[in-house]
Amino acid sequence: MENKNDEILIYETLMMLRDDRFISLRAEHDKKNLFEIMGITHRENVHSAFLASLLAGDMGLDEFPAECLYMLYHKVKGDIPLYSKTGMFKIKTEKYMNGRVDIFGINEEHKIVFVIENKLKSKEHDEQTKKYYLSLENNYPEYEKICLFLTISGEEAEEEGFMAISYQDLFDSVLKPCYEHPDMTSEYKVILSHYINNLTAPISTDDCLSPIALVHKKECESIYSDYKEALQKVYYVNDKPEQEDEDNEEVFLRKVYKSYRSTFDEIFLSLDEFGTTPCDTISYKKGEQFQLLVKQGVLREGDIVEATYNGLNVKGEICLHNGKYRIKVFDDNGKDYLKINNDIVGGSPSQAIKEYVFVKTGKEISDNGMTRWKKNGKTLKDLCERL
C-alpha cells in the first residue's frame, strides 16, 4: 500500500467521517428496529412467520415475493423456470409433513409446491429434511417441488433434494427487490425496512459471530472507492494488539474505529479485500471468538473457568492443544482431567460443555458454550465486549 504522511491520511479519514454516505450508514446502525426493541431479534419462528407473511402477499405485492423466490431457486439450480408468472401461493407455517416444516407453499394452478426449512441458530436433527422430502414425493407426485434449506452461511441439508440458500441470497433476490418495488406502500416499506435492518445484527453461531446478511454492500463499496487508503489504514492499525509506544496517527485511528465500530465493521465485511473485521471479532466467514479472548489477553492459558448446566457444576482449564486454545474439563475432585476412553473431555467452549453433559447424563445437547462458561462471574460472551 502506498503510504501518505500522517496529516494527509488523518485529513482523508476525517473527510470520510463527514461524507454523507458514511453518515447515512452510521445512522442505520444507530437506530433500533422493532425486532430489537421487542427482544425477538434472532428468534427463528419470528423470522419464519415474517417471511411467510411476505411470500403470502400480505404486504401488498401479491405474488411478486413468491415469484422472486421461485426465480431464485431456478437461478441457483442453473436452469430455465417453467413459468415467468406463477400467481399466488397458499402459504402455511409449521405444516406437518412427518414433522413440522417451517414454511410451506402451494400453487395448485401451476402445480408447484415449496418448503423452506429455516435454520437460523439451530441445526438439523432427526433427519428432518429427509422426512419432508419423502412426504412431498408421496403427497405431491405431479408437482414441481422446490425444497430450500435456509441458513446464514448456506449450509447443506442432509437430504440432497434440498437446495442450500443463505439469508444473503434471500436478501439479494427476494427482500431487496420487494423493498424497491414501486407498488410497495410507504407503510409496508417501513415494516420491511425494520426486518432488513434486523438482518445486520451479529448473531452468535457456536463460537463465532456473523451478521445474518450484508444489506448495504453497494454503499460500502462506494465509500471504499473514494477512501481506500484511509479504510486500509483503519483496518490494519486495529488488526494488531495495542502497543504503549504508538504514534499519533495510530492512536487517532484506534479512537476513530472504536467510535464508529459497527459502521466500519459492516464496510470491512462487505468488501472482498477484507471479508472480516479487525482481529476477526466478527466474521462473515467462520471465526472463533474464544481464540481471540486468549490471544488478546482477556483470558490466559491456565485460567480456570466454570459452567453450570441443569444442576451440574463443572470446572475447566484453558490449554493450548495442537495450535488451538481449548477448555479441558476437570473431574469431580477438581484436580485431574475428566476422561472417557482415555481421552480428555474438552474442546471449544461448546464442545467442552456438550461432552461433559454427555459423560454425566448420557444426553446429547446443543448449547452455546460462550454463554455457559464463566470467568470470575462473567460469561465468555460478555468478556468479548473487551475485545
Question: pLDDT tens, position by position, for the chain (387 residues)?
Answer: 445 477 888 999 999 999 999 999 999 988 899 999 998 988 999 999 999 999 999 999 999 999 999 999 999 988 888 888 889 999 999 999 989 999 999 999 999 999 999 998 788 888 899 999 999 999 999 999 999 999 988 888 989 899 999 999 999 999 999 999 999 999 999 999 999 999 988 776 554 567 899 999 999 999 999 999 999 999 999 888 778 888 888 999 999 999 998 899 899 989 988 878 886 655 544 335 787 788 778 899 999 999 998 889 999 999 987 667 889 999 988 878 998 877 888 888 888 888 899 889 988 776 677 888 999 999 988 887 665
Task: Let me know: does 276 contact 291? Beta carbons within 8 Å.
Answer: no
For the record, the C-alpha cell of 192 comes out as 420491511
SS3 call for 180: coil
pLDDT at 284: 44
pLDDT at 190: 96
Alpha-carbon distance 165 to 11, whole Å? 42
Alpha-carbon distance 329 to 307, whole Å? 10
pLDDT at 140: 96
Give the length of the chain: 387
Exposed/middle/buried for residue 300 (C-beta within 10 Å: 0-12, 13-18, 19+): exposed
**pTM beyond 0.75, yes or no:** no
SS3 call for 148: strand
For the record, the C-alpha cell of 247 comes out as 504514534
pLDDT at 1: 40
In the chain, which ranges are E strands? 90-96, 100-107, 112-119, 144-151, 163-166, 202-205, 208-211, 304-309, 312-321, 324-329, 339-340, 343-344, 346-347, 374-375, 378-379
